[in-house]
């Protein structure tokens, strides 16, 4: 089957290989880059979205807890002003006797217990503590001069004193609310309530809330995380630090700044703060980010800040980023696989189409060829018929030729046959005449002996004529012959000419595939020729040598005659070629013998031995390759 080469012609290497190579080289890095890019976008979007939803939720939390702080603080706002109504207080301020002091001390102690504040005390206009709820304690404020306190200075001026500070007596932090006590429009003293707000911190801790309250100086006064307490959320100048140190508001605490690693303002009051790892605020090994939401607390200059850790959100965003990257990788993989499959299908379809086209072409050609073949088949049939006819004619002609050859051979031999027959005939004539005479004389013994001799002579003559008859008879290409018998028959036929010839027999009595008569014909020809060639030889010798070779039996008929000259060798097997003078040779013997041998699948060849003479080699197919017993 021949295919159209155009259908399967590959693209030129420069076109086919390059884009594939480029794709193989650049596609993996491109996919990885896109994975990273999309993963980052996924992370970023997820983080932003998460921050937004966290900040909405945080806003509610912020509001809730800020209100709680406000209500906690405002709960005590009225308390210092309440002392204005208490006559014992005004009496003490007007007349500070020990009795009055004790009365007020007891009153303040009771009030403090009921209001669950930390301490309540009353100061005169100079800032000295006149009476206090903790008068029993060893670190009582009684008699202390607290005029340096900012809340006192505000209250003495008639303004509400609000102050968060650390007590100078016992170093305890607290929220101080001061009120100037008026009598007849004149400030006669200051009432102060100290409140502890740590309960709120505990509440935050219990609620696992990260929050802090920073005061007007930006110092964290309340924090769910004790480590953040008394840290500054804004940068403090040296001057401010010194001023604050002097006021002893924060006792002797160093007031370090709460320094975030990164600060990103997301909206009004909303920031993203990142604190470095290993800072005193972060126990983790990695940086930690918070969403910081701040709101001012009403009635105070303070701010409430809610911190929402972003670790979970970040982890979630990283997961989302990875998910996006993996989803993209999967999609890319699916796309590549789909594309490859599409290409394979396209190639298959193209190949199928090409195959179909090739098939169609093939079928067209087959149809054309079939027509041609049919025509040539018809022609061939005609030729075969003609050949058969020619073969028939040839065979017929060959048979005729063989027959003619035989007849010719008989003609040639007629002289010697006549001679052969004449001798016994003459002997018969003499013997029969003699016998008659012996019978007349009554010599029966001699007559009987003569008759026996006559019989023998007749037998011999019969044998000669029988050989001639069988030689002249038509044979066929099939049949079997015994080589020994064939040789004997031929020798018998040529017996008259063999008298002086020394015969060497070295062959086996094998069965060969040839008609017996034809074998004899061939042998008569070959031996006859040999005898002719040895006519001038004083010691003629004839060798008949046989051997099995390749399923055939070769019989070499060799003589020590005159041999064959170079010119004669060229025409040896040509019909009617003869070197024999006059009527002696017809030139048909070798031609016929060769054609008879060939007709059975055998062969007749000639050799020219260096020692002289000629050897004809007759090769005939064996009936059974196993040789018979030697003769
Ligand atoms: P014919 O015997 O009638 O001449 P052949 O075909 O038998 O025809 O032989 C052709 C010729 O081949 C002979 O005339 C002879 O010259 C030569 N030839 C055949 N056999 C021998 C032989 N054994 N030795 C020498 N010459 C031979």
Ligand 1 pocket mutation pick from 409, 543, 577, 590 by most atoms within 8 angstroms of CB: 590
Ligand 1 pocket mutation pick from 414, 528, 529 by most atoms within 8 angstroms of CB: 529
Highest mean pLDDT among 249-253, 312-316, 560-564: 560-564
3-state DSSP call for residue 67? helix
For ligand 1, the distance from its centroid to the CA atom of residue 518, given in whole angstroms, is 18
How many CA atoms within 13 Å lie on the side-chain side of 498? Answer: 15
3-state DSSP call for residue 577? coil
- Percentage with pLDDT > 70 across the chain: 87
Mean pLDDT of 371-386: 89
- Residue carrying structure tokens 């017809």: 586
Can you tell me the distance from the alpha carbon of 199 to that of 68, in angstroms, rounded to the nearest whole number?
A: 12
| Ligand 1 atom with the shortest distance to the CA of 577 | 10
State the pLDDT at residue 467.
Answer: 53
Tokens of 444: 């029966």
Say if ligand 1 is within 6 A of residue 560 CB: no
For ligand 1, the distance from its centroid to the CA atom of residue 579, given in whole angstroms, is 7
Per-residue confidence band for 120, with pLDDT thresholds at 50, 70 and 90? very high
- Residue carrying structure tokens 């509610």: 60
State the pLDDT at residue 221.
Answer: 86
| Alpha carbon nearest to ligand 1 atom 16, residue | 579
Q: E strands, 470-626, where?
A: 481-482, 502-506, 511-512, 541-549, 552-559, 603-607, 615-621
Say if ligand 1 is within 6 A of residue 247 CB: no
**H-helix or E-strand containing 383?**
helix 311-441
User: Which position has the higher pLDDT, 615 or 411?
Assistant: 615
Q: E strands, 196-246, where?
A: 210-214, 220-223
Closest-CA residue to 552 (of 623, 475, 470): 623
Say if ligand 1 is within 6 A of residue 590 CB: yes
State the pLDDT at residue 544.
Answer: 96
Say if ligand 1 is within 6 A of residue 529 CB: yes
Spatial contact of 118 and 182, defined as CB atoms under 8 Å apart: no
pLDDT in tens, 177-221: 999 999 888 999 999 999 888 888 888 899 888 899 988 888 888
Mean pLDDT of 451-467: 77
Per-residue confidence band for 7, with pLDDT thresholds at 50, 70 and 90? very low
For ligand 1, the distance from its centroid to the CA atom of residue 397, given in whole angstroms, is 22
Mean pLDDT of 515-529: 91
Say if ligand 1 is within 6 A of residue 178 CB: no
Tokens of 349: 């379809």
pLDDT in tens, 29-65: 888 999 999 999 999 999 888 888 888 888 898 899 8
Say if ligand 1 is within 6 A of residue 283 CB: no
3-state DSSP call for residue 425? helix
For ligand 1, the distance from its centroid to the CA atom of residue 611, given in whole angstroms, is 19
Say if ligand 1 is within 6 A of residue 356 CB: no
Say if ligand 1 is within 6 A of residue 537 CB: no
15 has a pLDDT exceeding 50:
no
Which range has the worst mean pLDDT, 10-14, 85-89, 246-250, 342-346?
10-14
449 has a pLDDT exceeding 70:
yes
18, exposed or middle or buried, with CB in 10 Å at 0-12, 13-18, 19+?
Answer: exposed
For ligand 1, the distance from its centroid to the CA atom of residue 477, given in whole angstroms, is 24
3-state DSSP call for residue 541? strand
Spatial contact of 161 and 152, defined as CB atoms under 8 Å apart: yes
For ligand 1, the distance from its centroid to the CA atom of residue 3, given in whole angstroms, is 61
Q: 467: Cβ–Cβ under 8 A, 6 or more apart, which residues?
A: 489, 492, 493, 520
For ligand 1, the distance from its centroid to the CA atom of residue 580, given in whole angstroms, is 7
585 has a pLDDT exceeding 60:
yes
State the pLDDT at residue 403.
Answer: 64
Spatial contact of 97 and 88, defined as CB atoms under 8 Å apart: no
State the pLDDT at residue 485.
Answer: 93
Closest-CA residue to 521 (of 358, 631, 395, 408): 408
State the pLDDT at residue 3.
Answer: 41
3-state DSSP call for residue 167? coil
For ligand 1, the distance from its centroid to the CA atom of residue 523, given in whole angstroms, is 13
For ligand 1, the distance from its centroid to the CA atom of residue 532, given in whole angstroms, is 8
State the pLDDT at residue 311.
Answer: 83
Say if ligand 1 is within 6 A of residue 609 CB: no
| Ligand 1 atom with the shortest distance to the CA of 584 | 3
- Residue carrying structure tokens 């970040």: 314
630 has a pLDDT exceeding 70:
no
pLDDT in tens, 158-181: 888 888 888 766 778 888 899 999
Average pLDDT over all residues of the chain: 84
Can you tell me the distance from the alpha carbon of 54 to that of 315, in angstroms, rounded to the nearest whole number?
A: 14
| Alpha carbon nearest to ligand 1 atom 21, residue | 529
Q: How many CB atoms lie within 10 A of CB 158?
A: 10
Ligand 1 pocket mutation pick from 523, 528, 532 by most atoms within 8 angstroms of CB: 532
Mean pLDDT of 408-416: 60
Spatial contact of 86 and 107, defined as CB atoms under 8 Å apart: yes
| Alpha carbon nearest to ligand 1 atom 10, residue | 578
Which range has the worst mean pLDDT, 244-248, 405-409, 444-448, 511-515?
405-409
State the pLDDT at residue 83.
Answer: 87
Mean pLDDT of 79-106: 90
Burial 422-456 (b: 16+ CB within 10 A, else e): eebeeebeebeebbeebeeeeeeeebeebbebbee
Q: Is the dihedral of CA 230, 177, 63, 207 positive or negative?
A: positive
349 has a pLDDT exceeding 80:
yes
1 has a pLDDT exceeding 90:
no
Per-residue confidence band for 313, with pLDDT thresholds at 50, 70 and 90? confident
Closest-CA residue to 572 (of 583, 585, 559, 582): 585
Name the pairing type of β-strands 119-124 and 186-195. Answer: antiparallel
pLDDT in tens, 276-288: 765 555 555 577 8
Sorted by where each starts, the structural domains of the chain and their CATH numbers stand as 79-196 (3.30.450.20), 476-621 (3.30.565.10)
Long-range contacts of 134-139 (CB under 8 A, 24+ apart): 134/109, 135/105, 135/108, 135/109, 136/109, 139/169, 139/170
Per-residue confidence band for 74, with pLDDT thresholds at 50, 70 and 90? confident
- Residue carrying structure tokens 């018979």: 628
Mean pLDDT of 221-225: 87
Say if ligand 1 is within 6 A of residue 218 CB: no
Say if ligand 1 is within 6 A of residue 606 CB: no
Q: What are phi and psi of 286, to 5 degrees?
A: -115, 160
Tokens of 6: 């155009």
Q: Is the dihedral of CA 127, 130, 131, 136 positive or negative?
A: positive
* DSSP code string of 238-293: HHHHHHHHHHTTTTT----B---SEEEEEETTEEEEEEPTTSTT--SSS-EEEEEE
Would you give the distance in Å from CA 115 to the centre of its chain? 85
State the pLDDT at residue 407.
Answer: 64
- Residue carrying structure tokens 């260096």: 610
Say if ligand 1 is within 6 A of residue 613 CB: no
3-state DSSP call for residue 128? strand
- Percentage with pLDDT > 90 across the chain: 33
Tokens of 32: 């990885």
State the pLDDT at residue 279.
Answer: 53
Name the pairing type of β-strands 502-506 and 541-549. Answer: parallel
State the pLDDT at residue 489.
Answer: 92
| Ligand 1 atom with the shortest distance to the CA of 557 | 23
582 has a pLDDT exceeding 70:
no
For ligand 1, the distance from its centroid to the CA atom of residue 578, given in whole angstroms, is 6
- Residue carrying structure tokens 């054609």: 595
For ligand 1, the distance from its centroid to the CA atom of residue 556, given in whole angstroms, is 16
pLDDT in tens, 363-375: 998 899 889 888 9
- Distances 173 to 118, 119, 153, 296 between C-alpha atoms, Å: 10, 12, 19, 21
pLDDT in tens, 254-276: 777 777 778 888 888 888 888 77
Q: 434: Cβ–Cβ under 8 A, 6 or more apart, which residues?
A: 450
């Amino acid at each position: 089957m021949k295919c159209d080469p155009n259908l399967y012609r590959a693209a030129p290497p420069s076109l086919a290989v390059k884009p594939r190579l480029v794709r193989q080289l650049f596609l993996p890095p491109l996919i990885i880059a896109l994975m990273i890019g999309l993963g980052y976008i996924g992370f970023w979007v997820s983080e932003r979205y998460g921050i937004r939803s966290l900040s909405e939720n945080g806003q509610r939390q912020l509001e809730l807890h800020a209100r709680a702080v406000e209500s906690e603080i405002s709960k005590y706002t009225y308390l210092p002003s309440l002392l204005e109504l208490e006559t014992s207080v005004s009496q003490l301020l007007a007349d500070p006797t020990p009795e009055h002091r004790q009365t007020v001390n007891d009153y303040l102690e009771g009030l403090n217990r009921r209001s669950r504040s930390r301490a309540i005390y009353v100061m005169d206009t100079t800032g000295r503590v006149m009476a206090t709820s903790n008068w029993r304690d060893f670190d009582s404020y009684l008699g202390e001069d607290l005029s340096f306190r900012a809340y006192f200075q505000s209250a003495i001026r008639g303004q509400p004193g609000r102050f968060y500070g650390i007590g100078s007596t016992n170093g305890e932090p607290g929220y101080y609310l001061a009120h100037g006590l008026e009598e007849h429009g004149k400030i006669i003293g200051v009432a102060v309530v100290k409140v502890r707000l740590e309960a709120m911190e505990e509440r935050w801790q219990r609620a696992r809330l990260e929050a802090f309250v920073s005061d007007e100086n930006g110092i964290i006064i309340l924090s769910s995380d004790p480590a953040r307490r008394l840290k500054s959320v804004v940068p403090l100048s040296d001057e401010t630090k010194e001023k604050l140190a002097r006021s002893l508001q924060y006792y002797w605490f160093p007031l370090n700044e709460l320094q975030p690693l990164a600060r990103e303002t997301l909206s009004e009051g909303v920031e993203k703060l990142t604190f470095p790892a290993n800072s005193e605020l972060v126990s983790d090994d990695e940086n930690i980010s918070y969403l910081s939401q701040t709101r001012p607390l009403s009635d105070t200059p303070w701010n409430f800040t809610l911190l929402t850790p972003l670790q979970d959100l970040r982890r979630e965003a990283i997961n989302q980023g990875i998910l996006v990257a993996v989803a993209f990788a999967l999609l890319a993989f699916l796309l590549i696989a789909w594309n490859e499959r599409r290409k394979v299908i396209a190639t298959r379809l193209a190949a199928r189409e090409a195959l179909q086209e090739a098939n169609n072409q093939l079928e067209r050609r087959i149809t054309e060829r079939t027509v041609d073949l049919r025509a040539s088949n018809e022609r061939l049939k005609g030729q075969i018929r003609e050949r058969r006819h020619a073969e028939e004619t040839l065979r017929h002609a060959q048979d005729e030729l063989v027959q003619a050859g035989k007849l010719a051979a008989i003609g040639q031999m007629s002289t010697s046959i006549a001679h052969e027959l004449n001798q016994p005939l003459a002997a018969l004539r003499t013997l029969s005449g003699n016998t008659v005479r012996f019978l007349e004389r009554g010599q029966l013994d001699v007559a009987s002996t003569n008759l026996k001799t006559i019989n023998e002579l007749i037998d011999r003559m019969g044998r000669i004529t029988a050989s001639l008859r069988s030689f002249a008879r038509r044979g066929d290409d099939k049949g079997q012959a015994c080589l020994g018998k064939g040789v004997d028959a031929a020798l018998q036929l040529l017996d008259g000419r063999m008298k002086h010839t020394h015969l060497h027999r070295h062959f086996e009595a094998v069965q060969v595939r040839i008609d017996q008569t034809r074998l004899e014909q061939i042998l008569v020809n070959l031996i006859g020729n040999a005898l002719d060639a040895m006519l001038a030889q004083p010691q003629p010798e004839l060798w008949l040598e046989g051997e099995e070779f390749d399923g055939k039996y070769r019989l070499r008929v060799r003589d020590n005659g005159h041999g064959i000259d170079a010119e004669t060798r060229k025409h040896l097997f040509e019909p009617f070629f003869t070197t024999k003078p006059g009527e002696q040779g017809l030139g048909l013997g070798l031609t016929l013998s060769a054609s008879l041998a060939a007709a059975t699948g055998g062969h007749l060849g000639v050799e020219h031995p260096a020692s002289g003479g000629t050897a004809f080699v007759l090769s005939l197919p064996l009936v059974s390759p196993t040789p018979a017993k030697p003769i």
